[in-house]
Amino acid sequence: MRLLIKGGQVIDPANDLDQIMDLLIEDGLISRIGINIDENEVEVIEARDMLVCPGFIDMHVHLREPGFEYKEDIVTGTRAAAVGGFTTVCCMPNTQPVIDSAPVARFIREKAEKAGLVKVYPIGAISKGQAGQELSEVADLLAAGCVAISDDGKPVLKSNVMRNALEYTKMFGIPVLSHCEDMELSSEGQMHEGYYSTIYGLKGIPAAAEELMVARDLALAELTGGHIHICHLSTAGSLELVRQARKRGVSVSCEVTPHHLTLSDEILGDYDSDAKVNPPLRSVDHIQALIEGLQDGTIDCIATDHAPHHREAKDCEFQLAAMGISGLETAVAVIMDRLVHQGKLDVFDMVRLFTCGPADILGLEGGTLSIGARADLTIIDPQALRKVEPEKFQSKGKNTPFKGQVLKGWPFITIVNGKIVAREGSIVQGGQD
């Protein structure tokens, strides 16, 4: 398929490009970028007033398969990614069985390739069974296609295990993705500890529950020289710890989610469990600090922490409800509406946080529109208005606190390997309309 994308605002932070241009795709590769490209026998996509970007990458997704297919599976999860504007996702290991062996990693890769929509890279477990006791066979996991290791969903409580993980992965040049949570401080917590947890009568989770573990893992990364990546960073204190560690030369990166950037703990006053997430939604001062972290470059990427749940897990008493938000299909629109259109985040930086940011952390192919690169693209209509309707989600997870809200700025077309896989919220079967 030959595609000519005409007249869009081409934004490629990896090449410092931001210009109204045309882009030609041939044989699944980007073949030309220029002004007034005129080609015969091509399918033309009119992209005037659109943002033409490298394919967006989500480095933190829970696809749930194998073991929890009633919550999500690889097919539904990749369909959700495609309509959400993502061409690549990385799936976390808290499945059943855990991604702690090569056969499980290979199963995920093969299932994703059969689904034929977006690219999927598994994240292997740090420890066998995510039990936090013994390292997984990291070399085997990498050979089977894993791009990093993490026990996300569970913190690695033993410092010597985390130290060994950082030392071992340093040899392979991959990061350790850390879920930072002091389980004793967060035990039985329902929301952020602060003014609103007192008003609402819910047990709080203090910011220190995250910050203590961030401090420990940064110290271990400094000790070993390994690369630590802080998952779903949510507090001002954690951000400052990362900022100071980076000044000391520690190899550290971090991500933040759309919901932690745009929603505060105040919204839990109606006890809507769709807003119950771990780490919890924080107070407005933490949100402001995170936005400043985006602006000054301390935060390396935005990731959804897509955590779909079946209806029964959320439609129950707040204290019993599962934690997590289904985020793949709303992430881009939330960031566009709440940050870009509000003047809190430059569109160029937004694209960087979704493309070369995660690609650089994980050493992934993609995140660029360089000539000869694989033609993975995300085209965004910044003026598109659409209501969030969970019942129309491709994902099995309908758990979103953004339900019913009208957002401005949605993915228009998602292209993977030169084929259109999604258009205006719908899957394009067979790579064509």
pLDDT band at 37 (very low <50, low <70, confident <90, very high): confident
Q: What is the pLDDT of residue 433?
A: 39
Q: How far is CA 338 from CA 268, 277, 405, 407, in A?
A: 19, 19, 12, 8
- The dihedral sign for the CA sequence 252, 253, 255, 261: positive
Residue 305 known to be catalytic: yes
What average pLDDT does the chain have? Answer: 97
Mean of pLDDT values over 327-337: 98
367 inside domain? no
What digits encode the pLDDT tens for the residues 287-320?
A: 999 999 999 999 999 999 999 999 999 999 999 9
The answer to whether residues 308 and 396 belong to one domain is: no
Q: Is 216 within 8 Å of 155 (Cβ atoms)?
A: no
Containing structural domain, residue 14: 3-51+374-431
pTM: 0.97
Residue 432 has pLDDT above 70, yes or no: no
Q: Is 89 within 8 Å of 77 (Cβ atoms)?
A: yes
The answer to whether residues 242 and 298 belong to one domain is: yes
Residue 339 has pLDDT above 50, yes or no: yes
Nearest to 268 by CA among 212, 185, 325, 330: 325
Helix (H) or strand (E) holding 103: helix 102-115
Contacts of 75 (CB under 8 A, 6+ apart): 111, 115
Q: Which of 327, 362, 397 represents a domain boundary (last residue)?
A: 362
| Cα separation of the two ends of the chain | 12
HSE of 295, CA atoms in CB hemisphere, 13 A = 12
265, 305, 337, 381: the active-site residue = 305
CA distance 170 to 172: 5
304 inside domain? yes
Helix (H) or strand (E) holding 426: strand 426-427
415 inside domain? yes
